[in-house]
Amino acid sequence: MTIENCPCGSTLTYSQCCELFHNETNIALTAEKLMRSRYCAYVLKNAEYLLSTWYKSTRPEHLDISQDNVVWQKLEIVHTKKGSAKDDKGRVEFNVFYIQDGEIQVMHEISRFKKVAGRWFYVDGVVE
């Protein structure tokens, strides 16, 4: 897949950025990087990656986003708490801008992440 700018908001191309996580060439070293790669997976409707990066005890059995009528516009990181390479827990507060049914929407969420055996996982989030 050829995508110029990575949907996660970095200044890199998709092949230089989130594709490396999606195809398991690299793993996200921070909670924020995992958050960005998960957002990108939603944009690209990559449910397999989303499930594989979801913490086991909170992960749904199935995730079908193939028919979602959401047009993702932008991810904005508001704040991070911990979640660095040396931490084992982290929080990422973010806004996601999208279009659904012709209307511009914003979702604000504070997500929790946990690192297990050197890998970050999305635990859950509170939508405000």
Q: How far apart are CA 112 and CA 84, in angstroms?
A: 13
Question: What is d(CA 28, CA 105) in angstroms, rounded to the nearest whole number?
Answer: 28
pTM: 0.94
Query: Taking the CB of residue 126, how many other CB atoms lie within 10 A of it?
Result: 11
Give the CA distances from residue 73 to residues 8, 62, 83, 100, in Å, rounded to whole numbers and listed in that order: 10, 25, 25, 11
CATH tag, 14-127: 3.10.450.50
Give the start-to-end residue ranges of the domains of the chain: 14-127
Residue ranges in the chain whose pLDDT is less than 70: 1-3
> What's the confidence (pLDDT) of residue 32?
98
User: What gap in Å lies between CA 3 and CA 15, rounded to an integer?
Assistant: 8
Q: Which of 76, 65, 68, 66 is nearest to 99 (CA)?
A: 68
Provide the H-helix boundaries in the chain: 19-22, 31-43, 47-52
pLDDT at 4: 81
